[in-house]
Copies of this chain bind each other. A is one copy, B any other.
Amino acid sequence: MNVLSKCPLFKGINPEELNALLKDIHYQIKKYQKGQMIAMSGDKCNALMIMLKGSVKGEMMDPSGKSIKIEDIEPPKPLAIAFIFGEENTCPVNIVANNDVELFRLPKDSMIKLLQKSAIFLNNFMDIISNRAQFLSEKIRFLSFQTIRGKLAHYLLQIVGPVDGEVILPKSQEELATMFGVTRPSLGRAIRDMHNDGLIEAKGKSIRILDRKLLIQQLKKG
């Protein structure tokens, strides 16, 4: 349970306290193999689930069946925590194991007990919920970029940060395209065009910003 005490939900609760809290509470440890579907879009969110091991991806299927990758989640983070309560407490994404996965699972009513028992847990929960809302809100903003070039400019400025230099893209073009909600050849073209226009130097996964001003301008164009 080392990982569990590192979960942001238990911040400020030391391991002894955590054990005491979990004493009268029914939880499970669940395991999944690579590729297994942990939760399907539309399934009920009836439990708190915290990553103990491995990695999962959250994907949203658009109406035509194409997937938009929302994020990868690793320990010690919780899954779909914002969707546990409410009139329609369904999971809005497919959650799939990227590799072998181990989850701490706490049914909803046990979780409610925890919320009532521990003000620290309650406060952490509310912080995390608002962080999730900010994340979703930021995703909306990103999807509102009108052009692939705009999305790319935004993404590159984010991963490169304020210091110029070469970075290695952490994802394949296919994965990035899925994240951007566009097709891979189109993303490749945008990279090529921006390389040819002198904004970046792109060699495979290696990217260097050549003209940060132009890149920021592209960002502002959306």
Contact = CB atoms under 8 A, between A and B. Distances in A.
Which of A83, A86, A116 has most B Cβ within 10 Å?
A86
A34 interface: no
Nearest to A144: B62
A107 interface: no
A130 B222 contact: no
Nearest to A221: B64
Interface stretch (A97-105, A133-141, A191-199): A133-141
B140 A82 contact: no
A221 B86 contact: no
A205 interface: no
A24 interface: no
B63 A133 contact: no
Contact of A82 (B68, B130, B154, B222): B130
A22 to B, nearest CB: 21
- Interface residues of A toward B: which range? 35 or more
Contacts of A63: 145, 150, 154, 219-222
Contacts of A68: 140, 144
A145 B68 CA distance: 11
Interface in A34-91: 60, 62-64, 66, 68, 70, 82-90
Contact of A143 (B129, B144, B221): B144
A26 interface: no
B60 A140 contact: yes
9 contacts: A62-B144, A63-B222, A83-B133, A85-B126, A86-B126, A86-B127, A90-B134, A136-B136, A143-B144
